[in-house]
Amino acid sequence: MKAGIITPVSGGMIKAVASPLLIHRALICASLSDAGTYVQCNEKPDGLNETIDRLRKQGAKIRYDGSGFNVAPIEIPESGRGFTAVAAQHGFAGQNNRGEYRLPGDVAYQSISGLLFTLPLLDGDSRIIVEGREEYKPYIDMTIDTLGMFGVRIERVHKDDGGAEYKIAGGQKYISPGTVKAEGDWTNAAVWLCAASVYGSGVICSGLNRYSRQGDKEIVNILERFGAVVSYRGDSIAVRHSRLRSIRIDAADTPDIIPLLAVVAAATEGQTVIFNAQRVRLQESGILMKVSRTLSALGANVIENSDGLIIRGSPAIKGGTVSSLGDHRIVMMTAIASGICEDTVAINDAEAVNKSYPDFFDDFEKLGGKVIKGM
């Protein structure tokens, strides 16, 4: 699909979609539980398909009814042994044994999460020792919180070097809470909040937990540092444009919103530096290259370096036709960048957005944008 962005969003009210990362975790826990679970979710992102397929192959019965997932659990062996698929799902396919695991702090969070899902099922206690600064803490926090919803307890001890130790009692059981409702997704909400900070009459995004453990809630603080006007009311966040200033952004804990921050920076006076993003280069499908290539093709001044991005802002950039490069984040970034482009913006392979936000273009239009699909 080719999407032509004719008019950027102007503003209005929007409800945050449910967090795909939290739904992903809830589906795994529900598949390990003692009884059926309903995971509320009005959207079904394509990015969940692999999780669902793997869990079904292990024996879970998962059915989506348009409003959520009905999950009938897997029959787990009494000892929990042999259930390596959950660990593999999170990137850890090693031996499924109790004991002590030592991992460097910059290891992908999937490795730690995989162990946290699996080790509680085994006979005997285990420990995970993270050595050095733990670089994916918000993602692991989400795993621990979701486990807690299902009665699985993890003890976490912080270390002086920024690492952590996880103490996991064996022989635990996943207890279904009956119904789980994933909180609103800060990552996708950041799309509209960033757009509002740059142009338009402002956006109010509801359904967000101000005290969420999602790392991308940091978008609010970053936008305030840029100079945007931010206010809270209940579960809603309101953002409107003001004169923006260049800043330095430590992206270590917020890799998923780097593309959106780059758009804000491209519309900001002066030079913005996004740093501490070196692990994103290695583990996030070349996202720094994709951001630099796409925004440069639209006329922005973006330089990729070994640590992140350097962006020199301007009041407007040219626009044109770009590819999504198969990345949902690039689709959303480009759509929002249309608001600072002099010419029309078109995106080839725009259906890549379905991985995390199938209704993205519908919501884009709800906020005043105009889109021609299938050009």
Catalytic residues: 256
**What is the sign, positive or negative, of the torsion defined by CA atoms of 242, 246, 248, 253?**
positive
How far apart CA 361 and CA 345 sit, in angstroms, is 14
How far apart CA 133 and CA 128 sit, in angstroms, is 14
How far apart CA 240 and CA 228 sit, in angstroms, is 6
How many CA atoms are closer than 13 Å to the CA of 123, on its beta-carbon side? 5
How far apart CA 34 and CA 227 sit, in angstroms, is 49
Amino acid at 179: T
Q: Which residues are CB-neighbours of 298 under 8 A, at least 6 positions away?
A: 317, 318, 319, 320, 322, 334, 337, 341, 345
The closest of 167, 204, 212, 150 to 19, measured between CA atoms, is 212
Cβ atoms within 10 Å, residue 333: 29
Report CA Rg, the chain: 21
How far apart CA 197 and CA 295 sit, in angstroms, is 18
Whether the Cβ atoms of residue 58 and residue 82 lie closer than 8 Å to each other: no
**Which string of DSSP letters, residue by residue, matches 321-367?**
EEE-TT-HHHHHHHHHHGGGBSS-EEEETGGGGGGT-TTHHHHHHHT
